[in-house]
Amino acid sequence: MEWSIQEIAKIAGTTSRTLRHYDDIGLLKPSSTGHNGYRYYSQSALVQLQRILLLRELGLGLPVIAQVLDREQDTAEALHGHLGWLEQEQNRLGRQIASVRRTIKAVEGGENLMAEEILDGFDHTRYKDEVEERWGKDAYAMGDAWWRGMGQDEKQAWKQRAQKLGSDWIAAAKAGIAPDSEAAQELAERHVEWLQDIPGTPAAANGQNGVNSGDIKGYVTGLGDMYVADPRFGANYGGTEGAMFVRDSLRIYAELNL
């Protein structure tokens, strides 16, 4: 018994285009071809097709399905791997949903979505890439959620605090004092305390992150290096020169106190 392309398509609940596609990519060849080029499919081809469609409904990609059918990969193994990916996706969606909900609340609360003022002084989203690269996506996500979850006045306060810290650093650097001087070390202490108020980072006082507290030292010195290497951060501390002063002060503070 052989069926034409439309017939198996109907039987299996798919379209003839899909069949041609599977033929093109070599996933499922017709069991015979007429002299006129017509594709004909046998019972065994139908079984294969059903398998393909079953796996496809589970979300597997066609290349993976091909491997499974060619016995190049164990079915259960492939499904396990796929399951992991699916769960990751679901988590991602969950986080995204939470973010959207927060944003809706913020917007409906009258907050202008990322107003100009956010730019001057402190803009946390600028650091997205660095943060994600160094401490993982979750770190940024937590910081991001924390930031957007704050009220207008809280944000204002935070920015003022950051700006004050920055200007104090610049003043200290201009004054030519040493990084290991008492004044500089006091600033370093303020800086670390400030960092500890950002959730999701290794420095966060409450250990809600998976990072153990032993990382704080490396985190702080790493930050110092970043301030110097990246002009966007350095700009907050009076350019590269100021950033170097901050870095040295922080390193010394970290060595002595963390």
SS3 176: coil
Q: Measuring CA to CA, which residue among 237, 247, 227 is closest to residue 130?
A: 227
Question: Is the CB of 174 or the CB of 232 nearer to a copy of itself?
Answer: 232
The residues facing 140 across adjacent strands are none
Contact with DNA (CB under 7 A): which of 11, 17, 43, 92?
17
Residues of this chain that bind a copy of itself (CB under 8 A):
10-13, 43-44, 46-47, 50-51, 53-55, 57-59, 75-76, 79-80, 82-83, 86-87, 89-90, 93-94, 96-97, 99-101, 103-104, 107-108, 113-116, 119, 123, 125-129, 232
Shortest CB 79 distance to DNA, Å: 15
Contact, 228 vs 179, CB < 8 A?
no
Cβ proximity to DNA, 21 vs 51, nearer residue: 21
Euclidean distance between CA atoms 172 and 152, whole angstroms: 30
Contact letters for DNA, residues 44-83 (x by CB under 7 A): ------------x----xxx--------------------
Contact pick of 18, 48, 209, 221 for DNA (by CB under 7 A): 18
Question: Encoding tokens for residue 36?
Answer: 């006129």
* Min separation Cβ 97 and a copy of itself, Å: 5
Could you tell me if 200 and 143 are in contact, meaning their C-beta atoms sit under 8 angstroms apart?
yes
Report the C-alpha gap between 228 and 179 in whole angstroms: 15
Tell me which of a copy of itself, DNA, none is bound by residue 21, counting a contact when its beta carbon lies within the kind-specific cut-off of 5 to 8 angstroms.
DNA
Closest listed residue to residue 140, CA positions, set 126, 154, 153, 121: 126
Q: Would you say 73 or 181 has its CB closer to DNA?
A: 73
Q: Which residue has the tokens 């993976």?
A: 64
Pairing mode, strands 32-33 and 39-41: antiparallel
Here the tokens at position 26 are 């070599």
Query: Amino acid identity of 81?
Result: G
Question: Which range, of 13-21, 87-95, 154-162, 191-199, touches DNA by CB under 7 A?
Answer: 13-21
CA angle 8, 82, 138 (to 5 degrees): 140
Q: Please, what is the minimum distance in Å from the beta carbon of residue 2 to a copy of itself?
A: 14
Nearer to DNA, 100 or 157 (CB): 100
Q: Which residues bind DNA (CB under 7 A)?
A: 4-7, 15-18, 20-22, 30, 34-39, 56, 61-63
